[in-house]
């Protein structure tokens, strides 16, 4: 519980007034602790993803565990499979078996 309204505004790329409006309507998860309005990081991420709301985690200090410095590990030589003859019904299963 370490994110503030300002943090959420930055994270969701929404004005603080819109965040406050969502809070009034109880449409966004938050808690009041010692008269402070705070948000749980994981709850907010799940909430945003379930609503297809983009997240701005690139330079958010409180989201450092989600930062990706380089895509080299994701885009390495063994990251792509070519000439795969998969059936539509079993595509995911067959891809997992390749990994």
Instruction: Give the pLDDT of residue 23.
Output: 94
Instruction: Give the pLDDT of residue 19.
Output: 95
Whole-prediction pTM: 0.58
* Residue-by-residue pLDDT tens, the chain, 99 positions: 688 999 899 889 899 999 999 999 999 999 998 888 899 988 998 999 899 888 887 666 666 665 555 666 667 777 776 777 777 777 777 777 777
Instruction: Give the pLDDT of residue 65.
Output: 60
Residue that is written with structure tokens 């409006």 in the block? 21
Q: How many whole angstroms separate alpha carbon 27 and alpha carbon 20?
A: 10
């Amino acid at each position: 519980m370490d994110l503030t309204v300002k943090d959420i505004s930055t994270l969701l790329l929404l004005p603080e007034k819109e965040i406050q409006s969502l809070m009034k309507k109880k449409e966004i998860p938050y808690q009041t602790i010692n008269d402070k309005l705070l948000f749980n990081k994981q709850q907010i991420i799940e909430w945003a993803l379930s609503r297809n709301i983009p997240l701005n985690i690139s330079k958010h200090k409180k989201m450092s565990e989600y930062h990706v410095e380089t895509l080299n590990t994701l885009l390495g030589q063994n990251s792509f499979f070519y000439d795969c003859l998969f059936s539509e019904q079993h595509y995911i299963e067959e891809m997992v078996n390749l990994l």
